[in-house]
Amino acid sequence: MKIICIGRNYIEHAHELNNPVPSQPVFFMKPETALIRGRLPFFYPDFSRDVHYEVELVLKINKLGKHIQEKFAHTYYEHIGIGIDFTARDVQTICKQKGLPWEIAKAFDGSAPVSTFIHKEEFKDLYDINFALSKNDTVVQKGNSGMMIFNFEKIISYVSQFVTLKIGDLIFTGTPAGVGPVVSGDTLKATLEDQIMIHLPVK
């Protein structure tokens, strides 16, 4: 399986990193080895001094597809979860300055904790899903699927023009404003509506 991540999908977050608001989705990928599932901690990597959390809604692909039309895109996922796109911001900044790819800042081991998944029928409105991240019990990020620049259907359709989607692939759909650093000893909690989905100590 593969993990596809959408960048700059919330206007306020694009602004906070001084990025332009895109006219098409921006995406990048993480390998399967980036996943953290269950109750395992996040181990702070030794190549960075500025690892940031980015909380994101995550779609789980349930059907093989390429060149998916937007009007059919909703049939390609059934479950929604929440994940954290850990980013070595210092490393990413150097990559950007040099015009290099960001992989080492985004794709490292443990950079993608993911919750269990909830069937989409359990949400009242897929365009009004609330989610949040707290660090040491202080809320640091709050998002809502209705604030996304590119909605789930647009993302699935766009990505599948370039990359075939397979059963079990995950799509991180972008982070709202409020990204920031973690340090060893922090605890992150991600909530979907009012349910705690991720409880992650940073070691």
Q: Which one, 29 or 126, has the nearer CB to Zn ion?
A: 29
In angstroms, how far is CA 98 from the centroid of its own chain?
A: 24
Query: Which amino acid, one-letter code, is at 173?
Result: T
Decide if residue 175 touches Zn ion (CB under 5 A): yes
Question: In the complex, what is the shortest distance from the CB of residue 175 to Zn ion, in angstroms, rounded to a whole number?
Answer: 4
Number of residues that bind Zn ion (CB under 5 A): 3
Per-residue contact track with Zn ion, 120 to 159, x per CB under 5 A? ----------------------------------------
Stretch that binds Zn ion, among 30-38, 114-122, 127-135, 175-183 (CB under 5 A): 175-183
Please, which residues have CB within 8 angstroms of residue 122's CB and are 6 or more apart in sequence?
none
Q: How far apart are CA 52 and CA 54, in angstroms?
A: 7
Question: In the complex, what is the shortest distance from the CB of residue 85 to Zn ion, in angstroms, rounded to a whole number?
Answer: 3
Q: Which one, 54 or 153, has the nearer CB to Zn ion?
A: 54
106-125 b/e with 16+ CB inside 10 Å = b?
Answer: bbbebbbbbbebbebeebee
Closest by CA to 3, choosing from 98, 95, 107, is 107
Please, which residues have CB within 8 angstroms of residue 144's CB and are 6 or more apart in sequence?
128, 129, 130, 131, 176
Stretch that binds Zn ion, among 19-27, 63-71, 171-179, 188-196 (CB under 5 A): 171-179
Stretch that binds Zn ion, among 52-60, 71-79, 94-102, 116-124 (CB under 5 A): 52-60
Decide if residue 85 touches Zn ion (CB under 5 A): yes
Q: Which one, 175 or 191, has the nearer CB to Zn ion?
A: 175
Q: Is 33 left (phi over 0), alpha (psi -120 to 50) or beta?
A: alpha
DSSP 27-66: EEEE-GGGEE-TTPPBPPPTT-S-EEE-EEEEEEE-S-BS
Question: In the complex, what is the shortest distance from the CB of residue 28 to Zn ion, in angstroms, rounded to a whole number?
Answer: 9
Q: Which one, 92 or 160, has the nearer CB to Zn ion?
A: 92
Decide if residue 3 touches Zn ion (CB under 5 A): no
For binding to Zn ion (CB under 5 A), which residues are involved? 54, 85, 175
